[in-house]
Structure 1
Amino acid sequence: MIVEGTVLRGPALDPVEGRVVFEDGEITAVEEAAVHSNDVVLPAFVNAHTHIGDSIAKEAGAGLSLDELVAPPDGLKHRLLDAATREETVSAMRRSLRLMGETGTAACVEFREGGVEGVEYIREAASGLPIDPVVLGRESADAMRESDGFGASGARDADFDSLRTTTREADKLFGIHAGERDPHDINAALDLDPDFVVHMVHPEGIHYERLADRQIPVVVCPRSNLVTSVGVPPIRELADRTTVALGTDNVMLNSPSMFREMAFAAKLSDVSATEVLQMATVNGAEIAGLDCGVIDPGRPAKLLVLDGDSDNLAGAQDVVRSVVRRAGAADVKDVIY
C-alpha cells in the first residue's frame, strides 16, 4: 500500500515530497518523488501520560485544588472512580481511547488506578481498538506484574523503594510524578532512578543537573498544569538537558488531544515546531519502549495523514509548523495502524 504527499521522514521529521510504501504493517520504503497530493504524512502520535479512567467525570471539580482533584486516596477523581460501576468506567474509557485512535494517537502511556482490576478495565476498554495502551499499574506489585510497569503517584505519597526494585527485576517501566506542585519531591523521585518522570513544573538547579547527568526523560503536560494552577513546565530548559515528551494527563481536566497539547506547548515555550512534534511522536515512543513514532523503512506503519488542502491547512508555508500549531481533528484524512 502507498500514501503520498509531504512526508515527515525520520527522527528529524524532515519534510520530503514523495510516498511511503508499506506492506503487512511495516514500512518498506520512503521514496522521494514528485507526487500530485497535498496530504501531509507524519508518524502517529504517542501520548506519553494519560489517566483515562477520569473519562467518567469530564470537567468535574471546577475550582478545586490539585490535591482536592486527584490526590490519592480521597481526591475527587478517586471518589468518583470508586462510585462508578465497572461497565460505566470501561465504557467511558473506551470512548476516550476510540477518540484518540481516530485522531491519530497510536499509543498512550496510562497510569492506571485500581490495582489489578484497574489494569483489567483498560485492557477490556482497548479491546479491538487500534490504539495500544502501555499500561502502568498502580497501588500494588500485583498490578505492576499484570501490566507493563508501575506508575507511581509521587515520592511524598508512599515509599516506592521496594516497588521500584521489583519493577526493575521484572524489566518493566517505572514512571513517577514529580515536581508538579513544588520542588520538594523531585530529589526523592530521582533517587528511585525512574525510567521517566512526569510534570517537572518546578525543577531547580540541582534537579536540572541530575536529569542531565542521568538522562532521565521527562513527560510534560502543560495544559493540565495550567488548569490545576500549579504553573507551567520550563519546557525549553528541560529539553536542553534531556528527552522531553508530551502527555495530556487527566481526561477529567482536558481532552486527550495531541493536537491541542502540541499547539499549547508550542505557543507557551521557546521550542521549535519540530521539537514539539518530536515530543508528540518519537520521544514518547522512546520513553515507552515502542518501535513507532518514526517514518523509516523497517518501522511499523503507524501513520497519520492530514489533508493539506483543508480550509484550515491550505496555503501553509511551513508544513511542520502548521501541523503543530494549526492542525486539528477536522484535518485528519486517514489513520493507518
Structure 2
Amino acid sequence: MIVEGTVLRGPEYTPVEGRVIVEDGRITAIEEERVESDRIVAPAFVNAHTHIGDSIAKEAGRGLTLEELVAPPDGLKHRLLRESGRDEMVAAVRRSIRFMHAGGVTAFLDFREGGAEGVRVLREAVEGLPVDAFAMGRDELAALEVGDGYGASGAADADFAREREAAREAGKPFGIHAGENRTDDIVPALDLEPDYLVHMVNASEEHLDRVEREEIPVVVCPRANLVTDVGLPPIEDLVERTTVALGTDNVMLNSPSMFREMEFAAKLTTLDAPEVLAMATRAGARLMGLDAGTIEEGREARLLVLDGDSDNLSGVRDPVRAVVRRAGTADVRGVVHPAQHN
C-alpha cells in the first residue's frame, strides 16, 4: 500500500512531501519527494478515555450534577444502562465505534461498565471493525479476567487495593479516575500506584509534583469537564510533568470526536499544535502498548488521510495546526489500520 501527500513525519510531526509505504501492516519506508497529491497524512488517533456504553443515552440528563449523571450505582447513566437490553447496547456501542473510526480513531480505551458481561458486549460491538477496543473492565474482578485492564471509578467510591493487586498479578494496566470534582480522592488514587490517572481537574501543585516524580501518565477530557461544570484540567502544567493523553469521556455528554477534543484543548491552552497532536496519538498509543502514534519506519501503519483540498482545508499553510484546530470528519478520505493490510 502506498499513501501519498504531505506526511506529518516523526515525533515532531514534521510536514514533508512524499509517500508512506505500508507492507504487512507496518510502515516500511517514508520517501520524501515531490508527489501529485493534496492529501495530508497524519497518525491515526487513539481515544484514551471513553465510556462508550453511554451511547444508549446521548444528551440525557440536562441540568444534572456530575454525581446525578454518572456516580455509581444510582446515577442516571447507571440506571439507564440497567434498563437497556443487550442487543440495544451492542447496536448503540457499535454505532459510536463506527463514528470514531470515521473520525480517524483506530484504537480506544473504554472504562467498561457492567462487569465481565460489559466487556463481552464491547467485544461483540467491535467485531469486524478496523478499530482496537481496549476494555478497562470494572464492577467485578471477573471483568479484569476477560478484559484488558481494570478501570476504577475513584478512590472515594471504594477501596480498590484488591483490584489493583489483581491487575498487577495479571500483568494488566490499572487506571483510576482522580480529582474530577474533588481533591480528597487524589492521594488515595496515587497510593494505589496506578498505571494512569483520568481527569486530575482539581490537582494541587503537590499532587502534580508527585505525578511527575512517580511518572504517572494522565488522561484529560476537557470537554466533558466543562459540561459537568467541575472545572478544567491544568493541561499545560501536566504536559510539563508527564505523558498526557486525550479522551472524550462520556458519550452521554460529548460526541466521541477526537477532532473536537483536540480543537478544544488547543484553543483552551497555549500548547503548540504538535503537543496537542501527540496527546491524541502517541500518548494514548503508549497507554495501550501500541507501537504507533507517529509515522516512522517500522511502526504500525495506523494512518489518517485527510483531503487537503477540501473546502475546509484548502489554502492551509500549517498542516499540523490544521489537523489539530480545523479539520473534521468531513475532511477524512481514509483511515488505515494494520489489520487491513496483513
Question: Could you give the per-residue CA deviations for residues 204-263 of structure 1, whole angstroms, max 9, x where no partner exists?
Answer: 011011011011000000000000000111100110000000000000000000000000
Aligned with 1:275: secondary structure? helix
AA of the residue aligned to 2:208: Y
Post-superposition offset of 1:282: 0.5
Distance in 2 of aligned mates of 1:284 and 1:79? 30
Q: How does 1:65-214 map to 2 (within 5 A)?
A: 65-214=65-214
> How far did 1:26 drift?
1.2
Q: How many residues align?
A: 337
Q: Tell me, what secondary structure is at the counterpart of 2:270?
A: coil
Q: Which amino acid aligns with 1:71?
A: A
- 1:291-306 correspondence runs (5 A): 291-306=291-306
Which structure 1 segments of 5+ residues have no match? none
Q: Secondary structure at the match of 1:77?
A: helix
**Residue identity matched to 2:137:** G
Q: Which runs of 5+ in 2 are unaligned?
A: 338-342
SS at match of 2:17: strand
Kindly state the Cα deviation for residue 131 of structure 1 after the two structures are TM-superposed. Answer: 0.8
**TM-score, length of structure 2 as denominator length:** 0.98
Determine the structure 2 residue equivalent to 1:334: 334
Report the Cα distance in structure 2 between the residues aligned to 1:302 and 1:204, rounded to whole angstroms.
36
How far off is 1:50 after superposition?
0.2
Partner of 1:201, secondary structure, is coil
Q: CA deviation at 1:121?
A: 0.3
| Correspondence 1:33 to 2:20 | no
Q: Which residue of 2 aligns with 1:56?
A: 56
Structure 1, residues 159-206: CA drift from partner, whole Å, max 9, x if none?
Answer: 001110110011101000000002111111011110100001011011
Corresponding residue of 2:258? 258
Question: What is the match of residue 290 of structure 2?
Answer: 290
Structure 1 CA distance for aligned equivalents of residues 228 and 117 of structure 2:
28
Q: Tell me which amino acid in the other structure corresponds to 2:298.
A: G
Q: Secondary structure at the match of 2:174?
A: strand
Q: Secondary structure of the equivalent of 1:240?
A: helix
- Residue 282 of structure 1 aligns to which amino acid in structure 2? R
Cα distance, 1:295 vs. partner? 1.0
| TM-score scaled by length of structure 1 | 0.99
Compute the displacement of 1:117 (Å): 0.4
- After TM superposition, give the deviation of residue 13 of structure 1 in Å: 1.3
